[in-house]
Amino acid sequence: MSATWTFVCATAELLPGEMRTTFDEVTGVPIVVFNLDGDLYALEDQCTHEDFALSGGGDFDPGEATIECVLHGAKFDVRDGRALCAPAYEPVAKFPTKIEHGGVWTRDDRD
């Protein structure tokens, strides 16, 4: 678990409908942060079906609040990480986000 918050970007650099990636500074876990109509959500940037980055060409659909893995088409809800269709059945880890000092921050808070 990381108690250290990782800076993602300035708030002005993550507009509604956009996503940004980062790595947790302590655990090294890849994280993708989504701006969904002004609400921020962070997921581990890894498909649970196969070890592949969701941000690696994945399709973020703000209207449906989903990210689709480009490798095999698995979809996940960006708000809670749950798998929405096969071939993925396990959820993606969800992480906290915060806005502080004009920036977007996240961290891997798993034990």
DSSP of the chain: ---S-EEEEEGGGS-TT-EEEEE-TTT--EEEEEEETTEEEEEESS-SSSS--TTTT-EEETTTTEEE-TTT--EEETTT--B-STT--SPPPEE-EEEETTEEEE-----
In single-letter form, the type of residue at position 28 comes to G
Nearest to 12 by CA among 100, 98, 102, 96: 102
Q: Greater confidence, 111 or 90?
A: 90
- Tens-digit pLDDT profile for residues 4-41: 999 999 999 999 999 999 999 999 999 999 999 999 99
pLDDT at 1 over 70: no
pLDDT at 2 over 70: no
Topology annotation, domain 6-106: Rieske Iron-sulfur Protein (2.102.10)
